[in-house]
Structure 1
Amino acid sequence: MALLSVFPLAFPELQKKSYVSNKSPVRLNFQSTETIKRKKVFTSNRSINAILTTHQQGITRRIGNHHPNLWDDGFLQSLEMPYDGPPYVERSKTLVREVKEKFNTMLTLESQDDLFQCLSMVDNVERLGIDRHFQEEIKATLDYVYRYWSNKGIGCGRNISSVDLNTTSLGFRILRLHKYNISSDVLESFKGKDGQLLNSSTQSQEEIKSIMNLFRASLIAFPKEKVMDEAKSFSTLYLKQALQKIDNSNLSREIKFNLEYEWHTNVPRLEARNYIEIYGDDNSWAKMTINGKVLELAKVDFNMMQCMQQRELQTLSRWWVESGLSKLEFSRHRHVEYYFWAAGGVIEPKYSTFRIGFAKLSALVTYLDDIYDTYGTYEELQLFTEAIKKWDPSAIEGLPKYMKITYMAFYDGVKDMAKEAQITQGRDTFDYAKSAWEVYIDAYMQEAKWLVEGYIPTLEEYLENGKVSSGSRVVTLQPILTLDALLPENILQEIDYPSKFDELLCLTLRVKGDTRTFEAEADRGETVSCITCYMRDHPGSTKEEAINYLQGLCDELLKELNWEYLKPDNVPPISKDCAYAISRGLQLLYKERDGFSVASKDTKNHIIKTMIEPFPI
């Protein structure tokens, strides 16, 4: 599929004029700085990831100078898990029952703000990470609210005829995320004669909360929703100004968190941790009986899920040691970080195979990436590629030791996931997975060939290959097949290749990833990225201009991904939910930097907060 077909809605002008140059790609010697400079292709001058070389048996190899594994196996195996014993299980069941009773009574009580209270209840349990216990109650509650929804929005109560911004914004966000048919035109009702959404200088606490809900709603945008862009611009500026005037309170903490993490980088486990802390410090909120029970349940549940995650981490770490992958000193060891990527958004205990399988496959992709991009010689890569495509352990004869270790871990990993998928799908999916992996490996070889030849492709050519080499499809495909949802091949193709959903997952990973990794990759001699290809297509452009363009492209692709995720189709919801959660986790880990290669900062802190440190009970 041509790249242009991926985002006709996001960039309508592209239907008339291609966004990439039709000039022929240039060829560069990646080792020649002078040639690169003459062609205006970005070359990093930083030394933190400078090219290092190692000489083995007469072979000169590049290595990435990556920091080592941060999570010692001995440390993980020693973790104690005191919060999953019978007392906590029983307390959790009691609290779940009491909160369910509150949900049920809310729909029968007379109240002037019953619709707002219903929406707030749903919002609270979702933000606190306990919504999986109340799926039936949430559905009934939202069906009730939706009955009163109009094309101008909704009031705070069923007997209130006038609409209000707070309830409408909160309702818009929740109902759209639950796949109700909600149009962004409702926000037009809140514009004044001057076309502005709000004209007020009071900035009362209630008004600030309304604008915060408007901001949160604006993030669930589809392509071509101009009013959503306007709402985001307005609410962002408003909230930033409000922060300068209000005290350092729970409200300011909530505003800062939402402005920083927005939606696509706000994974559920991190959000739950944050809101448990905010609500726990808000005496006016927590002192209400039902809120106190909701908060207690959130803490107990968080700690119980953390114990589950720690057990799974122990299993993953044992695999890492026993597979021999821990001995590959040239590569990044990020199996724990990849587990966080999956566990941050896929929480249900029954989806253990998804989380662990995703972490294993993602780790394997990283070992392959470091082999193809940095450590392996071109001749070795050709032999390695041939061996992989034979799918036969005997094919490793003649390969270097590091490739033998990687090959066997890869072969066993793909086979094991196929066996798990057969349990849930009732059919053998190994051949289907093999085909996906072979296409992926071919994309790696294409990039290795570009590097050897010093070839800089057009941006369009690069992205066509890069959406495959990103690895998004191969690390998601097999884990999705282990979920408790049947995916016959005709339905599978609505979420896997060649679906728009899959293509957007792959492109957003590639584009976002390149904006965070290109400098370190350039330091290692990897000259081809979205940035260098854009600069090659636009002579005289700067890396800042390239990054700004690509960030804008990624933002529009994420709007399209929102639509592909939330539109009606035949795909089981859990399959899309998990794939979309992976996309959000990726956006978080690439938020400020390459959170995989440089995992010792934000990523490490996220892991500690969500998977290591429990709440005191």
Structure 2
Amino acid sequence: MALLSVSPLVFPKLLRKPYASDQSSMVLNSCSKDAVQRKKALRPTKSINAILITHQPGLTRRIGNHHPNLWDDGFLQSLEMPYEGPPYVERSKALVREVKEMFNAVLTKQSGDDLFQCLSMVDNVERLGIERHFQEEIKLTLDHVYRYWNKKGIAAGRNSSISDLNTTVLGFRIFRLHRYNVSSDALESFKGKDGKFLKSSTQSKEEIQSIINLFRASLIAFPNEKVMDEAKSFSTKYLKQALQNIDDSNLSREIEFNLEYGWHTNVPRLEARHYIEIYGEDSSWAEKTIKGMPHLSNTKVLELAKLDFNMMQCMQQRELQILSRWWVESGLSKLEFARHRHVEYYFWAAGGVIEPKYFAFRIGFAKLSALITYLDDIYDTYGTYEELQLFTEAIKKWDPLATEGLPEYMKIAYIAFYDGVKDMVKEAQITQGRDTFDYVKNAWEVYIDSYMQEAKWLVEGYIPTLEEYLENGKVSSGSRVVTLQPVLAIDAILPENILPEIDYPSKFDELLCLTLRVKGDTRTFEVEADRGEIVSCITCYMRDHPGSTKEEAINHLTALCDELLKELNWEYLKPDNVPPISKDCAYAVSRGLQLLYKERDGFSVASKDTKNHIIKTMIEPFPI
């Protein structure tokens, strides 16, 4: 199955695919008796009401009952983008200079909690989404604080030798995410014999903030870190109880946000929007000044955050206009049977990859992800088996003339696909200094082959084991092909000896693909099953474990995904030869996916949470 329905395997879909009636009977009759029995056991009991049938002369096609494009091209082209003007640019530069003064001030001032203040300064600008302006200052600050780190953590101030829980867990999280060498063993020193991280609880604002930071730290876990699991369990329970007792609305909102979005589903643009709103209403935070320097207050940080957010929004809106024009001019808007989700895919990329210079990554990722969804809907529902064979052969010729003999809808999709891949090859040529077409062509062909493997399973009436399904499904998820070319287009050189450390056959790439597949299946299973699309991680697990229930399968796969994400954390943050920005961009894809599949298939059903996220982060500016 292709990316972005991240839906279950192709073959049960093709089983109901609209062949001519005599051919359909032939395929059905080719299934073994045992396979038919297995299908009956796994078939949903609900009526299949999510598929529309369209009849053409001599042919019946299935069409997924997807809602239309939510973002009218006329609306996107009408966006005005006022915050690009010179007055805002100049004000932003002035505020950046003042916040840099604040960094220098907290770095040089000595007090009882100077180390904590340094870490808080870094944490604030990162939460508020403005850290790209202060990379040098952040590095100097963290290098300074790291000198005081020891196996028991760190004190709140440089002149103290007593480790502080809040400073330690805040530092641990920031240091680990910046790839400093810190061990989770430091958390052990705060744990009592009863397993709790507090000797007694006052539920004061300061204590609650410590446990919020403990919770945030516990999510940046590597495999086999028992103390991180214990910290997560303790802090989750504590914060849920605290919500019932505290009156501070801003603190409550902070707890609720962290519990809801955690780390893997918390993309930077969404986090920035949320914390700007919280800090904007928290006068005790906004008015706080640096001792002896009353002109340096958090109001400066907040003003910069709001202005920068609006300016980045203007950039995103301009890029959305480019993307929407491409969508119309490519003819893809004419494919009425398919999901039109180019804006949602742009949000996926832009939610985590913010730097203005990474335009090619954002646009390229959005285009390729949209294209892969058109392929998904062609292979899964609309195309006949014969058409899919012809389409696959045409793709492997890599020639626009290969569209001869294809139906019109496939010609549109093929040309858009061919041009999209070639355009990204040109972008990669600029940054990598070499032609990467043969490399990416192979990746795309392996991906298309995974579709046809699933079609072959259909013809054979074969329900795979979970292991077989995941081996093919991590390819057909499409994660590799939509990430590879955009990563090659950023300003980080990936020579052929380094590329396999982030791309296939690296563990990093495998985990990106597997988490996509497993997470997606646990969210799309019900809807897909209603459409008669039987095979998924869930049903393959149930096939491997006769007598198991759907709930048991989902629980197993959810736990599996949690462990895979820990492994992915390690592969992302471990020291290696891959340029960090390349991993950052690829990892941002994983976090965006986890967000958009947090409750449901946020691509197929984009009219709920996803639409709201887009409005909040890319359409609605802050009043200034």
Normalised-by-shorter TM-score class: over 0.9
Whole-angstrom distance in 2 between the partners of 1:272 and 1:31: 55
Question: 1:500-539: CA deviations, max 9, x gaps?
Answer: 0000000000000111112222233322211110111111
Tell me which of 490, 496, 507 is aligned to 2:497: 490
Tell me which of 314, 319, 337 is aligned to 1:330: 337
- Asked if 2 retains the 8 angstrom alpha-carbon contact of 1:309 and 1:611, the reply is yes
TM-score, normalised on structure 2?
A: 0.92
- Asked if 2 retains the 8 angstrom alpha-carbon contact of 1:29 and 1:455, the reply is no
Give the structure 2 partner of residue 117 of structure 1.
117
Secondary structure of the corresponding residue to residue 321 of structure 1: helix
5 Å matches for 1:142-541? 142-247=142-247, 249-288=249-288, 289-541=296-548
- Asked if 2 retains the 8 angstrom alpha-carbon contact of 1:265 and 1:585, the reply is yes
5 Å matches for 1:538-557? 538-557=545-564
Give the structure 1 partner of residue 41 of structure 2.
40
5 Å matches for 1:43-122? 43=44, 45=46, 50-122=50-122
Give the letter for the 1:322 counterpart.
Answer: E
Whole-angstrom distance in 1 between the partners of 2:550 and 2:606: 24
Secondary structure of the corresponding residue to residue 493 of structure 1: helix
Give the letter for the 1:446 counterpart.
Answer: Q
Secondary structure of the corresponding residue to residue 42 of structure 2: coil
Whole-angstrom distance in 2 between the partners of 1:529 and 1:327: 30
More moved, 194-203 vs 582-591: 194-203
- Asked if 2 retains the 8 angstrom alpha-carbon contact of 1:28 and 1:456, the reply is no
RMSD after superposition: 1.8
Whole-angstrom distance in 1 between the partners of 2:255 and 2:108: 33
Whole-angstrom distance in 1 between the partners of 2:199 and 2:130: 37
Give the letter for the 2:603 counterpart.
Answer: F
1:575 lines up with 2:575 in the alignment: no
Secondary structure of the corresponding residue to residue 308 of structure 1: helix
Secondary structure of the corresponding residue to residue 61 of structure 2: strand
Per the TM alignment, residue 57 of structure 1 is displaced from its structure 2 partner at its CA by 2.6
Per the TM alignment, residue 196 of structure 1 is displaced from its structure 2 partner at its CA by 2.9
Give the letter for the 1:311 counterpart.
Answer: R
Secondary structure of the corresponding residue to residue 80 of structure 2: coil
Per the TM alignment, residue 422 of structure 1 is displaced from its structure 2 partner at its CA by 0.2
Question: Residues 132 and 420 of structure 1: is their aligned pair in 2 closer, same or farther, counting only changes over 3 Å?
Answer: same
Whole-angstrom distance in 1 between the partners of 2:39 and 2:512: 35
Give the structure 1 partner of residue 7 of structure 2.
none
Whole-angstrom distance in 1 between the partners of 2:453 and 2:429: 32
How high is the sequence identity, in percent, across the aligned residues?
85
Question: Residues 36 and 532 of structure 1: is their aligned pair in 2 closer, same or farther, counting only changes over 3 Å?
Answer: farther
Whole-angstrom distance in 2 between the partners of 1:370 and 1:186: 50
- Asked if 1 retains the 8 angstrom alpha-carbon contact of 2:216 and 2:258, the reply is yes
Secondary structure of the corresponding residue to residue 489 of structure 1: coil
More moved, 98-107 vs 122-131: 98-107
- Asked if 2 retains the 8 angstrom alpha-carbon contact of 1:30 and 1:525, the reply is no
- Asked if 1 retains the 8 angstrom alpha-carbon contact of 2:43 and 2:532, the reply is no
Per the TM alignment, residue 46 of structure 1 is displaced from its structure 2 partner at its CA by 5.8
Give the total of aligned pairs.
590
Per the TM alignment, residue 247 of structure 1 is displaced from its structure 2 partner at its CA by 1.6
Question: Residues 38 and 385 of structure 1: is their aligned pair in 2 closer, same or farther, counting only changes over 3 Å?
Answer: closer
Question: Residues 545 and 571 of structure 1: is their aligned pair in 2 closer, same or farther, counting only changes over 3 Å?
Answer: same
- Asked if 1 retains the 8 angstrom alpha-carbon contact of 2:521 and 2:537, the reply is yes
Higher relative contact order (CA 8 A, sep 6+): 2
Question: Residues 73 and 28 of structure 1: is their aligned pair in 2 closer, same or farther, counting only changes over 3 Å?
Answer: farther
Per the TM alignment, residue 36 of structure 1 is displaced from its structure 2 partner at its CA by 5.9
Give the letter for the 1:430 counterpart.
Answer: F
For structure 2, which runs of at least 5 residues remain unmatched after alignment?
A: 1-27, 289-295
Secondary structure of the corresponding residue to residue 501 of structure 2: coil
Question: Residues 409 and 383 of structure 1: is their aligned pair in 2 closer, same or farther, counting only changes over 3 Å?
Answer: same
TM-score, normalised on structure 1?
A: 0.93
Question: Residues 531 and 29 of structure 1: is their aligned pair in 2 closer, same or farther, counting only changes over 3 Å?
Answer: farther
Whole-angstrom distance in 2 between the partners of 1:73 and 1:352: 20
Question: 1:365-418: CA deviations, max 9, x gaps?
Answer: 000011111111111101100000000111111111110000000000000000
